[in-house]
Amino acid sequence: MISGWGEAMEGRAAPRIHSMKDFHWKRVTRLVGKAIGDFGLIEEGDRVLVALSGGKDSWTLLYALRDLQRKAPVAYEVAAVTIHPGSEGFYIAGIRERLRQDGIPHRIIDGNILEVVNENLTPGTNPCSFCSRLRRGILYSFAAAEGWNKIALGHHLDDFVETLLLNLFFNGAIKGMSPLLLSDDGRNRIIRPLVYVKEDMTRQAAGLLKAPIVGCGCTYQGMSGSRRSWAKSLLARIELEVPSVKTNLLAAMGRVHLRHLLAVDDVCEERVHGPRTEHRLG
């Protein structure tokens, strides 16, 4: 854990909600600050580019990082980038005007993603997953070209545990998300500072910010897949009997005892000769 972020967490709230009862906002920024400290997500001199889709999660992330920036123990830059999907229903003007008013650096990239999806979508391919891969490629290339060494994504606690369940049930793999990840191409470091923040908290935070929520506006909107909806529903049912199920699952992702899983090459020796140390991820 990197010290100093505890002090930053107690900094004043974002300008838009400074005069409100901002207990909830302080709770969000406290959890974001804790994640940054626990996983070393932001360091001195980092240039952090927030992928701002216009949804509640990315708005919450952007303003939390801006708020923490005021009294952080390290100096870092924050800016936002929005990839225009090319659909007429994507209301970019609302995003642009809000960030202009608040003085937040922002770039818009015309991705023409909808056109690419329409031309290349094959049977059985989920259009939202295809779109996500295209966005990611555009985002990574832009960040590398412009010198942004960290890309901040708005995945929250629920996303982390839902992804874990989906991989367990449908892919037969113990695999989730990482708060800090080097991209496959080796050019970018991905950070997910909302790892400790639940989805209902980002929904409330976006309301406090009065952020202009913008959907992608394309004809495929809402087709992200029934499996994730199923995972959400399953967790909601379990939560009725085990209220801490989400936080427990998240904690389990950081407490992995490899000796007690099926043998794989890099742990065979440990299983035979005994444990050395507990493997803690993150």
pLDDT tens per residue, range 221-264: 555 567 889 999 999 999 999 999 999 999 999 999 988 988 66
Please give the Cα distance from 240 to 219 (Å, whole number): 35
Residue 19 pLDDT grade (very low, low, confident, very high; cuts 50, 70, 90): very low
- CA-wise closest residue to 28 among 5, 49, 9: 9
pLDDT tens per residue, range 155-209: 999 999 999 999 999 999 999 999 999 988 788 999 999 999 999 999 999 999 9
Mean pLDDT over 12-30 rounds to 69
The count of other CB atoms within 10 Å of the CB of residue 68 is 23
- Written as six digits, the tokens of 281 are 């991820």
Domain boundaries, the chain: 9-225, 242-282
**pLDDT the model gives residue 241:** 98
Residue 217 has pLDDT above 90, yes or no: no
- Written as six digits, the tokens of 136 are 């990611």
Mean pLDDT over 273-282 rounds to 48
Residue 16 pLDDT grade (very low, low, confident, very high; cuts 50, 70, 90): low
The count of other CB atoms within 10 Å of the CB of residue 18 is 11
The pairing of strands 189-191 and 180-182 is antiparallel
- Written as six digits, the tokens of 218 are 């394309």
**pLDDT the model gives residue 281:** 43
User: Average pLDDT over the chain, rounded to whole?
Assistant: 85
**pLDDT the model gives residue 86:** 72
Percent of the residues in the chain that have a pLDDT greater than 70, as a whole number: 79
Please give the Cα distance from 94 to 51 (Å, whole number): 16
Please give the Cα distance from 250 to 149 (Å, whole number): 26
Q: Which of 39-43, 111-115, 117-121, 122-126 has the highest mean pLDDT?
A: 39-43
Mean pLDDT over 106-118 rounds to 80
Residue 282 has pLDDT above 50, yes or no: no
| Greater model confidence, 193 or 269 | 193
Look up the CATH number of domain 9-225.
3.40.50.620
- CA-wise closest residue to 66 among 123, 22, 105: 105
User: Contact 57/88 with Cβ under 8 angstroms?
Assistant: no
Residue 137 has pLDDT above 70, yes or no: yes
Residue 270 has pLDDT above 80, yes or no: no
pLDDT tens per residue, range 44-86: 999 999 999 999 999 999 999 999 999 899 999 999 999 988 7
